[in-house]
């Protein structure tokens, strides 16, 4: 009897289709990335309008809420949910996808494509809503939600800032989850203590060299868009490290 090595029976789809399949795997339950975030945002929007009406009633000024609502955090409320989604994408969908014969590489690229697509689509919608809010003078009642916090620039600036905030939540959340997937509890301990050390160290450095003035000046000079451009760099780093950490991670029980 001669012994031969069998050749693979099935050939995989092209790399791009494999990545799209991973993206679709995340979207099989539409609620996760689309339904629930917009449900949260819709609910918060209704609440914001009610609060604006209350302030207007109390101040007797039909646009009285305008100033106070500049610091409303309502628009970023879906982000906390999306942070959890990003962590679950790695901690649960990764082991699930490997059972379907997905490579780590395809999984990460497909998941990243989803993160980017979702961030960009949401940012287009949010920047457009900000534009409407602006042009209707706060939905006719001086309410502020989509133009609050740092989202009060032009459409393109808002689009950029909204995109970066969501990309940050997705990729930094996922990166931290990959550290857990690769090194478990010990990885988390090292990561969070390391993070705290860097943070405290930076504060100490600035304080001891008496540099808070220049640092503040530098931040002001960057402007909102500039600061978010720096954050985008941080997001890119998280995405980069996430990839290499996941490439050697194993879905243990």
State the residues that interact with other proteins by CB under 8 A: 1-13, 15, 18, 21, 24-25, 28-29, 31-32, 88, 92-93, 95-96, 98-106, 247-248, 250-251, 253
Helix (H, G, I), strand (E, B) or coil at 66: coil
User: Which residues lie below 8 Å from residue 224, measured CB to CB, with a gap of 6+?
Assistant: 150, 153, 157, 161
Cβ proximity to other proteins: between 146 and 170 the closer is 170
Q: Least distance (Å) from other proteins to the CB of residue 19?
A: 11
How many Å apart are CA 21 and CA 24, to the nearest integer? 5
User: Which residues lie below 8 Å from residue 72, measured CB to CB, with a gap of 6+?
Assistant: 48, 144, 145, 148, 149
Q: Least distance (Å) from other proteins to the CB of residue 243?
A: 12
C-alpha distances (whole Å) from 35 to each of 15, 170, 251 are 29, 17, 28
Cβ proximity to other proteins: between 229 and 247 the closer is 247
Q: Least distance (Å) from other proteins to the CB of residue 187?
A: 15
Cβ proximity to other proteins: between 105 and 229 the closer is 105
Q: Least distance (Å) from other proteins to the CB of residue 129?
A: 26
Cβ proximity to other proteins: between 66 and 104 the closer is 104
Cβ proximity to other proteins: between 105 and 191 the closer is 105
How many Å apart are CA 107 and CA 190, to the nearest integer? 26
Q: Least distance (Å) from other proteins to the CB of residue 253?
A: 4
Cβ proximity to other proteins: between 121 and 247 the closer is 247
Cβ proximity to other proteins: between 22 and 74 the closer is 22
How many Å apart are CA 117 and CA 100, to the nearest integer? 23
Q: Least distance (Å) from other proteins to the CB of residue 172?
A: 20
Q: Which two tokens stand for residue 144?
A: 């502020």
C-alpha distances (whole Å) from 143 to each of 39, 199, 220 are 19, 36, 27
Secondary structure (DSSP) of 160-179: HHHHHHHHHHHHHHHHHHHH
What does the angle CA 83 – CA 37 – CA 239 come to, to the nearest 5 degrees?
35
Q: Least distance (Å) from other proteins to the CB of residue 96?
A: 6
Assess contact for 44 and 77: CB atoms under 8 A. yes
């Amino acid at each position: 009897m001669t012994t031969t090595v069998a050749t693979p029976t099935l050939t995989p789809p092209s790399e791009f289709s494999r990545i799209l399949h991973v993206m679709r795997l995340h979207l099989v339950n539409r609620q996760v990335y689309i339904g629930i975030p917009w449900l949260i945002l819709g609910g918060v929007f209704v609440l914001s309008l009610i609060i604006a009406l209350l302030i207007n009633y109390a101040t007797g000024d039909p646009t009285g809420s305008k100033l106070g609502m500049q610091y409303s955090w309502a628009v970023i409320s879906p982000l906390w949910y999306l942070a959890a989604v990003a962590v679950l994408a790695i901690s649960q969908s990764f082991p699930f996808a490997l059972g379907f014969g997905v490579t780590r590489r395809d999984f990460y690229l497909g998941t990243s494509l989803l993160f980017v697509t979702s961030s960009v689509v949401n940012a287009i919608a949010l920047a457009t809503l900000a534009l409407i809010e602006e042009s209707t003078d706060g939905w006719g009642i001086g309410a502020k939600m989509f133009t609050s916090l740092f989202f009060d620039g032009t459409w393109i600036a808002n689009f950029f800032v909204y995109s970066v905030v969501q990309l940050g939540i997705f990729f930094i959340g996922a990166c931290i989850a990959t550290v857990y997937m690769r090194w478990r509890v010990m990885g988390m301990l090292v990561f969070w203590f390391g993070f705290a050390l860097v943070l405290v160290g930076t504060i100490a450095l600035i304080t001891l060299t008496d540099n808070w003035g220049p640092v503040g000046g530098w931040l002001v000079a960057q402007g909102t868009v500039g600061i978010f451009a720096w954050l985008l760099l941080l997001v890119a780093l998280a995405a980069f490290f996430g990839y290499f950490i996941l490439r050697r991670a194993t879905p243990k029980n």
